């Protein structure tokens, strides 16, 4: 199976792909040890003589190169935020890669209509190939990482307790209550909180999504978009391998 993912940055791609792989391994027993042979992640495309990473900022240019113009409404309704760029992204990927599934991964930031916009784009293509998976981090990717943060020692317990006192709530249990913005030093900035807990260690951050049990990620991710994303992978991607609908 060939999967293509459009995201905002390499860090978003890393966590979203790893989590999708974990859901596949959880639900497809025979995939253990064979995952790389049954699915391939496509992170780049060749266009206009260049190799371009599949990020949202590249989609408009790729669409122009291919002559893909997006006009019109969605079932008679005007396009909500991200609806047009998401539709263009799927059309670009169909033309260049013919993937079995397209993952549209985004931060909500402060735009609460992005979910509906991405849904509009998905509905435009109906239930045909490629399968379209939506991953929307609320408010941003760091909230998903925080949902998987489990203190490993007394020092980390103290760091988390300090953030609880500063914020008035547990940022790992309620990461959706944090606020995205241009000021990464703001009290409720997910980036500030994550830095305070991990000192921006890439290895420590990776533990949060690679090792924390999916059960805990689902519970803590009920409101920050993580549980919804894991459910999308389970309901839309797993059946491509098992041939049956998966409960979630």
Whether 151 and 244 map to the same domain: the answer is no
| Residue-by-residue DSSP string for 89-122 | HHHHHHHHT--SEEEEEEE-TT-TTHHHHHHHHH
Are residues 20 and 83 located together in one domain of the fold?
Answer: yes
Angstrom CA distances, 48 to 24, 45, 94, 102, stand at: 34, 10, 17, 22
For position 41, what pLDDT does the model report? Answer: 97
Q: Please name which of 231, 248, 225 lies closest in space to residue 115, comparing C-alpha atoms.
A: 225
**pLDDT given for residue 85 in this prediction:** 94
| Pair (125, 206) in one structural domain | no
Number of domains, the chain = 2
Give the CATH number, domain containing residue 45: 3.40.50
108 shares a domain with 22: yes
Task: Please list, in sequence order, all residues whose beta carbon lies within 8 angstroms of the beta carbon of residue 38, skipping any fewer than 6 positions away.
Answer: 1, 31, 241
pLDDT at 245: 62
- Residues 171 and 209 occupy one common structural domain: yes
Q: Do residue 236 and residue 124 come from a single domain? A: yes
| Among the listed residues 141, 136, 124, the one whose alpha carbon sits nearest the alpha carbon of residue 228 | 136
CA 45 → CA 17, 48, 97, 103, 122, distances in Å?
A: 17, 10, 8, 15, 21
Q: How far apart are CA 132 and CA 130, in angstroms?
A: 6
Q: What are phi and psi of 8, to 5 degrees?
A: -90, -30
pLDDT of residue 25: 97
pTM of the model: 0.94
Residue 105 tokens read as: 């991964």
Residues 16, 115 within the same domain: yes
Query: Look-up: residue for tokens 């913005």?
Result: 181
Domain identity same for 59 and 24: yes
The Cα diameter of the chain in Å comes to 57
Could you say which DSSP state residue 71 is in? -
* Same domain (yes/no): 30, 107: yes
**What gap in Å lies between CA 59 and CA 91, rounded to an integer?**
10
Instruction: Give the pLDDT score at 247.
Output: 55
Tell me which residue range forms the domain holding 31: 1-138+225-248
**Are 11 and 54 in the same domain?**
yes
115 and 203 fall within a common domain: no
Co-location of 123 and 181 in the same domain: no
What is the mean pLDDT, run by run of 10 residues, along the chain of 248 residues? 97 98 96 94 91 93 91 79 93 96 94 91 89 97 98 98 98 97 93 97 97 99 98 97 71
Nearest CA among 141, 160, 155, 156 for reference residue 206 = 141
């Amino acid at each position: 199976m060939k999967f293509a993912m459009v995201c905002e940055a390499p860090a978003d791609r890393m966590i979203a792909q790893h989590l999708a792989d974990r859901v596949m391994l959880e639900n497809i027993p025979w995939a253990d040890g064979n995952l790389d042979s049954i699915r391939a992640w496509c992170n780049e495309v060749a266009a206009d003589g260049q190799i371009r990473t599949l990020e949202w900022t590249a989609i408009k240019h790729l669409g122009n190169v291919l002559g893909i113009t997006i006009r019109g409404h969605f079932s008679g309704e005007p396009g909500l935020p991200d609806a047009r760029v998401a539709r263009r992204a799927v059309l670009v990927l169909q033309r260049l890669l013919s993937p079995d599934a397209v993952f549209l991964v985004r931060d909500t930031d402060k735009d609460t209509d992005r979910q509906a916009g991405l849904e509009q784009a998905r509905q435009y293509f109906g239930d045909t190939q490629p399968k379209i998976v939506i991953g929307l981090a609320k408010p941003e990717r760091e909230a998903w990482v925080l949902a998987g943060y489990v203190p490993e020692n007394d020092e980390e317990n103290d760091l988390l307790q300090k953030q609880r006192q500063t914020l008035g709530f547990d940022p790992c249990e309620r990461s959706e209550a944090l606020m995205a913005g241009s000021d990464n030093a703001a009290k409720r900035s997910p980036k500030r909180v994550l830095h305070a807990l991990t000192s921006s260690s890439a290895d420590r951050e990776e533990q949060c999504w690679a090792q924390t049990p999916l059960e805990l990620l689902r519970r803590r991710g009920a409101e920050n978009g993580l549980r919804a994303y894991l459910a999308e992978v389970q309901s839309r991607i797993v059946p491509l391998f098992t041939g049956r609908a998966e409960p979630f």
